[in-house]
Structures are given as C-alpha cells and as structure tokens.
Amino acid sequence: MGKLPRVVAHRGASDVNPEHTLAAYRRAIEVGADGLECDVRLTADGHLVCVHDRRIDRTSNGRGVLSTMSLAELESFDWGSWKRPWADLDDEAELPDLDEMKVLTLDTLLATVRDAGRPVELAIETKHPTRYAGLVERRLIEALDRYGWARPKLGTESPIRVMSFSWLSLRRMRTAAPGLRTVLLMDRIPLRFRDGSLPTGVSYAGPSLELVTAHPEYVDRAHKHGHQVHVWTVNAEEDIRRCREIGVDVLISDRPELAVRTLAEP
C-alpha cells in the first residue's frame, strides 16, 4: 500500500462540535487530524469569518444575511447551542467555554494553526468570491501575509491551501501570490480535464466523494499529471477505506477521529 491519505477536518471536528467554532478546530487537532478545513465570508465591515452559509440562521441564534452584519454584531450571537443546547446540560462541568463558541475570525484560526505545536494544514474555501470583485481574495492575501503564508520565504512551507469551486477565484489568488497552493473543487469533471490535467494555476484536484466513487480511475490520472487528489466529504468507514485503496491523498471529513482511527487499521 502507498502513502496513507491525510485527514482534513471539515469545518473542524464538526461531528461532535458546532461547526467552524474554535472548539471544533481544537478538538480536530487533539484527535490527530493532519489539517483543518474552513469556509470564509466577508462581514459588512470587511473581516473574514469562518461560516459556511450565506445566512446565519442555521448555525447561530441570530437571523439574517452575514454580509450585511458587522463583526461586532456577529460576535453578539451564540454559535454553539444549535448543536447541543446549553439549556439541556445538567452538569456544570459540561458547560462549554463560551469563548470557544463565538463566531470565529480567520485571523484566530490562523493563529490556532500557527500555535498548534505541530504542522497542521489549513484548507480555506472562498465562498461565492465572484460577488465581491476580488475583495475576498485581497483580504485573504492580507491575512495570510500577516503570518508569512501567502508568499513563503525560500526553504519554508506554507500550511495553506486555498480551495474553491471557482477557477477565477483560484486564478486571482495565484496571480497575487504565485507560491500558494490551490485546490479546484469539483462536483463534475469538465470534459477537457477528464485526463487528470487541471487548469493553469491549480495545484490539486478536489473532486467530491461521489465523483471518485463513480470514477476511481480519475485518481491515477490526476497523479500521472502530478496533481494530488483531495476528496470531500468522506464520513463513512467504508468510504474512508475505499479512499485509501484508490490512493486518495487527502480526505476531508466531518469525523476526523473516526478517519484517523480507520486509516490506522492494518
């Protein structure tokens, strides 16, 4: 068997913690994930925060469209109890650290990766980047530059991979920061890239689990072109094993603990 896939925790350890919270990311690091995944969105006052949906209704106790709210407004909401209502907890000891349940800024997540005590990858997905005419990408590069991760110095490696369904977004990132690694997310493979090649400026392929299940031969094809294959979202044990068999490089999972344990099986 070749190298084991690396495990990237999708929205943190989001099977047991509220997604995109510091608690979810700390847990993923604790259980041995090789990397973390997050989605980023722009607030009305120009901060990048880690949230998946356009609206905040599903993952907080607030309502409305995220991009119309300031960071201070977003910080006033509870981003944790939708997953496990605090009101149901009898035991004081079980009460979560509320600081870990706030809306998470990208900056805090970058600092968490830097301070993890071991190398941890961070896959950052830009959501609907075309709506903001490149502003998301500019803010993202500024944030990464504060850590020296957009343009890593010779001999150093950036833990960052920028992911998007939008080739335009990845191209903008690479034009501004040519050393950054990028992943093109795909729920279908365009005809001209079925041979495993990728558009200029894209480092890695990011097919869905459904795609590689239907076309396992795609993994070898991408490898022949020198591209790693990052597959999302792999949660069932049988799929984790199958990804290992077909030589997937990275599996993105809501269940990092299960994925790490399953991959450790002989």
CB of 160 to ligand G3P, least distance (A): 14
- Site of tokens 């500024």: 142
Binding residues for Ca ion, total number by CB under 5 A: 2
Binding residues for ligand G3P, total number by CB under 6 A: 9
CA neighbor of 232 nearest in space, from 44, 5, 20, 10: 10
State the Cα–Cα distance between residues 44 and 22, nearest whole angstrom: 22
Which residues, including other chains, have CB under 8 Å from residue 10's CB and lie 6 or more apart? 37, 232, 233, 252, 253, 254
CB of 124 to ligand G3P, least distance (A): 10
**Quick one: which H or E segment has residue 97?**
none
Taking CB under 5 A as the binding criterion, the range among 66-74, 97-105, 121-129, 136-144 that sits at the site for Ca ion is 121-129
DSSP assignment string, 130-165: GGGTTHHHHHHHHHHHTTT-SSPPTT----EEEEES
Nearer to ligand G3P (CB atom), residue 10 or residue 255? 10
The yes-or-no answer on residue 230 being catalytic is: no
Query: Which of 19, 100, 121, 125: binder of ligand G3P (CB under 6 A)?
Result: 125
- In the numeric block, which tokens belong to residue 88? 């149901």
User: According to CB under 6 A, which residues from 204 to 233 bind ligand G3P?
Assistant: 232-233
What does the per-residue mask of binding to ligand G3P show for 12-51, with x meaning CB under 6 A? Answer: -------------------------x-x------------
Q: Which residues are catalytic?
A: 10, 52
